[in-house]
């Protein structure tokens, strides 16, 4: 296994059948659990249907089958779950690029112990909010969302599979022009292959029934090699043609993401009047702060007496969003959770993502990717 690129699939028949792209990711988890290298695996499982992704901790490899298959309508975040509840565990976790970015920032700040965690990265072209998916499938596909057994994003299309095995697909561009499709944060995201994890897995450049794996770290190489050696994983070297295809797909998607960054962060960036209107809606519920994987201070400045308002009207944006901006925007990984959970529909992530981009231009610091802490980072908050 000299190359950093390989194709892999499960040896276990059940995982081979039920896992996505031959179940390589599930097999690696199976190996890690069976050999007691980890106490648990954090991944997603279906809740009530394919639009309901529920973070699930698996502690017995027999249960891994629950987490087989990918879900594109589950914009979850694992960073804070690990920090708050799973710190004591040796853990393997399936990470989207934004999860990996959040985890990386938390590792640098000693909130997650990097020695205790294996990050199995999943390539991601973006996620769709579940309720948006339901509406979109009814409206554009003219299908009852309950009849959909599987969904996927491939070759620029959102594809649904029905119980009778038939497929329907629509160009994502077309859906997004009409305000559906992927979350706007995902549209802007330029990290599709999580090279900030230990390995990055996906179907780009893979043969059908196989997973394309890029090995990123030594730890990543070890787990893939040992899963193979111990009979969990079948591997082969991908032909160069496939490596190039994968690279090409990534390139196209990054280009698209940059166009969306220009659109949302410059051309259609809210005016000052718009922001005034947005801030007036704020009910000071702290949802944006509480969901932010990077906000972990035990004593939050926002709750200091000298910043507190009457409570009946919106807080002063300078001492609320402004304080958040100065505390975390340089580290914003554009996961979009703050916008997802804001009850007042304030597009908060736009201001933070825009600021991180400017910070990156000035300092070279890329949140979620750079190995060092951001310049001017104040360790006091820990």
Partner 1 sequence: MKLTHTICPSCSVGCGINLITQKQEAVGTYPYKRYPINEGKSCKKGRECYGMITEEKRLLNPHIKKTSLVGSNWDESLNLAVSKIKSYEPEEIGIIGSGNCTNEECEILKKFATSLGAENIGYPAGNFPNFDFETGNLNDVENSQFILITGNVLKEYPLIGRKIILAKENGAEIITIDYPQKTTTGMISDQYIQTESIRQFLDDEAEKIQTKLNESSLILVSKLDNKEELEEFHQMAAKSNSKIIPIMKECNSRGAMNILPPLSEDELKTMINGMNLLYIVGDDLASQLGETLKKVDFLITQSTTLNQTALLSDVVFPSACWVEKTGSFTNITGNTQKVQQILPPPGEAMDDATIIMKIAEKMEIDL
**CB closer to partner 1, 135 vs 219:** 135
Cβ burial, residue 243 (10 Å; 0-12/13-18/19+): middle
Counting contacts by CB under 8 A, is residue 178 touching partner 1?
Answer: no
Rounded to whole angstroms, the maximal C-alpha distance in the chain is 65
Q: Is 297 in the site for partner 1 (CB under 8 A)?
A: no
| Chain residues 119-138 in contact with partner 1, contact rule CB under 8 A | 129-131, 134
316 binds partner 1 (CB under 8 A): no
CA angle 75, 194, 111 (to 5 degrees): 75
Question: Which residue's CB is nearer to partner 1, number 31 or number 78?
Answer: 78
Residue 314 in the binding site for partner 1 (CB under 8 A): yes
> CA–CA distance from 226 to each of 15, 20, 31 (Å)?
18, 21, 8
Pick one of 37, 47, 63, 225: the residue that binds partner 1 (CB under 8 A). Answer: 47
Q: Which is nearer to partner 1, 52 or 161 (CB)?
A: 52
- Binding residues for partner 1 restricted to 318-357, rule: CB under 8 A: 337, 340-345
Closer to partner 1 by CB, 134 or 351: give it. 134
Residue 373 beta carbon to partner 1: minimum distance, rounded to whole angstroms = 27
Q: Is 285 in the site for partner 1 (CB under 8 A)?
A: yes
Cβ 314 to partner 1, closest distance in Å? 5
Residue number with CB closer to partner 1 (272 or 376): 272
The footprint of partner 1 on this chain (CB under 8 A) covers a number of residues equal to: 41
Shortest approach of partner 1 to residue 65 CB, angstroms? Answer: 17
313 belongs to the binding site for partner 1 (CB under 8 A)? yes
Residues in the chain: 382
52 binding partner 1? (CB under 8 A): yes
Query: Measured from the CB atom, is 280 or 363 closer to partner 1?
Result: 280
Considering the complex, state which of residue 173 and residue 303 has its C-beta at the smaller distance from partner 1: 303
Quick check: 372 binds partner 1 (CB under 8 A)?
no
64 scored as a contact of partner 1 (CB under 8 A): no
Measured CA to CA, the distance from residue 352 to residue 333 in angstroms comes to: 9
Q: Are 122 and 130 in contact (CB under 8 A)?
A: no
Instruction: Name the residues that contact partner 1, by CB under 8 A.
Output: 47-49, 51-57, 74-75, 81, 84-86, 129-131, 134, 277, 280-283, 285-287, 290-291, 311-314, 337, 340-345
């Amino acid at each position: 296994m000299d190359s950093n690129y390989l194709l892999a699939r499960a040896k276990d028949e059940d995982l081979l059948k039920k896992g996505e792209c031959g179940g390589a990711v599930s097999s690696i988890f199976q190996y890690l659990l069976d050999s007691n290298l980890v106490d648990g695996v954090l991944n997603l499982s279906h809740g009530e249907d394919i639009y309901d992704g529920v973070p699930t901790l698996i502690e017995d490899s027999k249960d891994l089958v629950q987490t087989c298959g990918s879900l594109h309508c589950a914009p979850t975040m694992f960073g804070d779950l690990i920090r708050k509840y799973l710190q004591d565990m040796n853990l393997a976790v399936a990470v989207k690029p934004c999860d990996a970015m959040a985890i990386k920032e938390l590792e640098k700040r000693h909130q997650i112990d990097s020695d205790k965690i294996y990050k199995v990265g999943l390539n991601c072209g973006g996620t769709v909010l579940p309720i948006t998916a339901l509406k979109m499938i009814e409206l554009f596909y003219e299908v009852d969302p309950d009849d959909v057994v599987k969904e996927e994003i491939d070759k620029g299309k959102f594809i649904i599979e029905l119980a009778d095995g038939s497929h329907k697909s629509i160009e994502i561009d077309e859906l997004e022009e009409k305000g559906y499709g992927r979350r706007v944060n995902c549209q802007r995201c330029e990290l599709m292959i999580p090279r900030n994890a230990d390995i990055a897995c996906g179907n780009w450049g893979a043969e059908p029934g196989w997973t394309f794996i890029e090995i990123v770290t030594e730890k990543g190489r070890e787990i893939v090699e040992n899963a193979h050696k111990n009979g969990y994983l079948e591997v082969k070297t991908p032909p160069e043609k496939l490596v190039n295809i994968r690279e090409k797909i990534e390139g196209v998607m990054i280009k698209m993401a940059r166009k969306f960054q220009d659109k949302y962060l410059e051309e259609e960036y809210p005016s000052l009047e718009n922001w005034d209107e947005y801030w007036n809606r704020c009910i000071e519920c702290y949802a944006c702060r509480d969901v932010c994987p990077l906000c972990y201070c035990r004593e939050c400045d926002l709750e200091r007496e000298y910043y507190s308002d009457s409570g009946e009207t919106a807080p002063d944006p300078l001492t609320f969003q402004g304080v958040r901006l100065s505390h975390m925007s340089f580290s914003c990984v554009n996961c979009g959770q703050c916008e997802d959970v804001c009850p007042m529909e304030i597009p908060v992530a736009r201001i933070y993502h825009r600021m991180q981009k400017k910070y990156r231009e000035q300092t070279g610091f890329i949140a979620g990717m750079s190995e060092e802490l951001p310049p001017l980072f104040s360790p006091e908050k820990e």
